[in-house]
Amino acid sequence: MKVLVTGGAGFIGSALVWKLNQLGTRRILVVDQLETSEKWHNLAHLAFEDYVPKDQFLRWIEQGTFAEKPQAVVHLGACSSTTERDADYLLANNYRYSRTLAEWCLARGVRFIYASSAATYGDGSRGYSDRDDITPWLRPLNQYGYSKQLFDLWALRTRALDAIAGLKFFNVFGPNEYHKGDMSSVVLKAYHQVRSGGRVQLFKSYRDDYPDGGQQRDFIYVKDCVDVLLWLIENRVGGLFNLGTGQARTWNDLAGAVFRAMGRPAQIDYIEMPDALRGRYQYFTQADMTRLRAAGYEAPFRSLEDAVHDYVTGHLDAATPYLES
């Protein structure tokens, strides 16, 4: 089979290319925007047929000059910065690009899978259900979440979701996230903090019902994410699905898992949260995984401890931390 992966040099995209390589697939077209970033390192260890810059690929689609028909298009390319303030830029990248590509796939019967985001849930006051009757009522907290929500709403309104699949990724961590800087996972940040000073910094809590470091997130390993993506490529299930483990864990749990994987005693400092973040901070996220399970996905997800151990010992402590084909 031939698979086209947008964002294929990025975190989850390159992990998917790695997984396809593990299964013997080399017929992969990577679409991305490298420029001066360090994402090229993610590709240097993988096998694929060709690379196309994202703007050139979009022109081919719009002009009708892209003649290939892949078995599947996995659209992971996006501006993923939750702090990006240019709403027009976000909508062009995360809504308009996605819609153009989805319409191209639908017209040709090509399997289309795309990345939505748990950022569409906003402050979580409306819960974390991916049911279609809930989706229109969600209220994202930032422009990034809104740009993802807008495409979800288009796909729902036009019934494109009968044929395509979207994934609302929760807190993903794992190898090949090294280029993400401030947007990298707390697992990666904690690892480097322990290496340099033996301690980890976490935000204090400003709510009486959550102790310091007791704020909770649904952390999911990137290797589990790509297993779901592969399943969706092979099974033409339509719909919008959460992708977490379904089990919220605390930041203290995460830090403790990093310390144990590194064979160090836990030493945590609780620091003040920036004023700009306090009013918009999520104290709890947990994916409702009922819908994906009901669609037929049965594989278990790794525990936080097992995933962190694999990440630290199998990648961060390794001579070459990247995923390799």
Measured CA to CA, the distance from residue 242 to residue 222 in angstroms comes to: 14
At position 117, the amino acid (one-letter code) is: S
Measured CA to CA, the distance from residue 210 to residue 158 in angstroms comes to: 41
* Catalytic residue (choose from 121, 144, 191, 311): 144
The length of the chain is 325
Phi, psi for residue 249 in degrees, rounded to 5:
-135, 160
Q: Over the range 199-229, which residues count as b (16 or more CB within 10 Å of their CB) and which as e?
A: ebebbebeeeebebbbbbbbbbbbbbbbbbb
Q: Are 262 and 192 in contact (CB under 8 A)?
A: no
Measured CA to CA, the distance from residue 205 to residue 215 in angstroms comes to: 7
DSSP 244: S
* Catalytic residue (choose from 180, 281, 283, 297): 180
Strands laid side by side in the 50-53 sheet: 50-53, 28-32, 3-6, 72-75, 111-117, 165-169, 239-243
Residue 180: active-site member: yes
Residues with a catalytic annotation lie at: 144, 180
